[in-house]
Structure 1
């Protein structure tokens, strides 16, 4: 690796300040397009909760920079590939995976995501708590790493794999995500998501969905949770009319398209359901941090294969 690939400014992440990161360790410059800019890191860093070891709740102080770990995970979410194929100058793949698994277990990715959503809504002139939402599901093929116990066959889409269910606000920001086997009925999954929606976003009273959520779910949501579930009417399918955007529904469809821009989310490669849900949050988190901080003034410097 060329000597100018690193700089040595003081890192402001908690492991570098109070943990076991070696004194004077080099800080990774932006070498890949997914690496965070200084402005992005400032937005994300403010949302990272203090680790247990810093608050005296046990655990060994961390020895790797949070920023470099998050850059490695963003690279993996955007480019796909195997864990063991993470290139330098990222930390060792096993350390990155252990970091990812621990943060999933502690719910850190969900906490960071929630705070970024609130900040975007605030800057857009919206209240932190949304009052309306849109729900949808997307079936995707599963790789051979996905066990038979957590996969199924979606007869409607002819997909053998898993299904991710998301709830977004009217800006298209993901509020909730759940991953199930592909054969789980959308209405069944929606009941569990609506329970979580009422618990975490108590001010939401209106939800839009497509026709697969019609039926008993509509009166159930109103009777048990006080949610007004509306199924927008399709404007028609006559060829003379061409493509028609369904009111409100296009917002969640756009968010699903944003998610599938990241290669790790095109298929499901994860052995655990919560791991794929975390990669969905990482995928939308890339767009959210850029929305808050703006694009980098200069493009990321490319790293040659010889430097790996």
Structure 2
């Protein structure tokens, strides 16, 4: 039997809010309605700002008017954890307007108008019992279940609009 600290070791890390127990963090990009566009998993101790490039590149092409398909969203709303020049540079390189709250300058209340959409999507993902607690040791299987949950959420969102 594997020791508790080696289970799921690839995509887990000591959770700073849970007494150092191994944990996984979900990074999600949504549209303004809360439909998940991309999801990635990392260890709980990974800084959010390190995933900006990966998340922006993970967004699939969006169906739209004739011509070249749009690959990325027009704007990125993010909280103070992403307040780094590197994050702003990565957004600008991909023609995405960064709307990132600045530490010590902006109040979090203004960002709350946009942030609750992502929090709601994370709550929808947590409603899938298989994802509430991580049972899989392999990171690729847990990523697959997370992607499947996002696909189900997107399908339900599309049914509402049709």
TM-score (norm. length: structure 2): 0.72
How far, CA to CA, are the matches of 1:216 and 1:209 in structure 2?
A: 13
- Count how many residue pairs are aligned between Structure 1 and Structure 2: 143
* 1:72-83 → structure 2 map (5 Å cutoff): none
Partner of 2:114: 248
Name the SS for the 1:235 alignment partner: helix
User: 8 Å contact 2:30–2:38 — kept in the other structure?
Assistant: yes
From 211, 221, 226, the counterpart of 2:95: 226
Task: Give a deviation string over 1:267-300, Cα, whole Å, max 9, x none.
Answer: 2222232322221233244444445557xxxxxx
* 1:203-242 → structure 2 map (5 Å cutoff): 203-232=72-101, 233-235=107-109
User: RMSD of the TM alignment (CA)?
Assistant: 2.9
User: 8 Å contact 1:179–1:274 — kept in the other structure?
Assistant: no
Q: Which has the larger radius of gyration?
A: 1
Unpaired runs of 5+ residues, structure 2, are 62-69, 102-106
Structure 2 residue 138 is the aligned partner of structure 1 residue 277: no
Partner of 1:181: 43
Structure 2 residue 8 is the aligned partner of structure 1 residue 147: yes
In the TM superposition, what is the alpha-carbon distance from 1:186 to its structure 2 partner? 0.9
> Does the C-alpha gap of structure 1 residues 255 and 216 become closer, same or farther in structure 2, counting only changes over 3 Å?
same
Name the SS for the 2:27 alignment partner: strand
> Does the C-alpha gap of structure 1 residues 250 and 293 become closer, same or farther in structure 2, counting only changes over 3 Å?
closer
How far, CA to CA, are the matches of 2:33 and 2:157 in structure 1?
A: 12
- Kindly report structure 1 stretches of 4+ aligned residues shifted beyond 3 Å: 143-146, 156-159, 284-294
TM-score (norm. length: structure 1): 0.41
User: 8 Å contact 1:221–1:228 — kept in the other structure?
Assistant: no
After alignment, is 146-155 or 204-213 more displaced? Answer: 146-155
How far, CA to CA, are the matches of 2:74 and 2:18 in structure 1?
A: 30
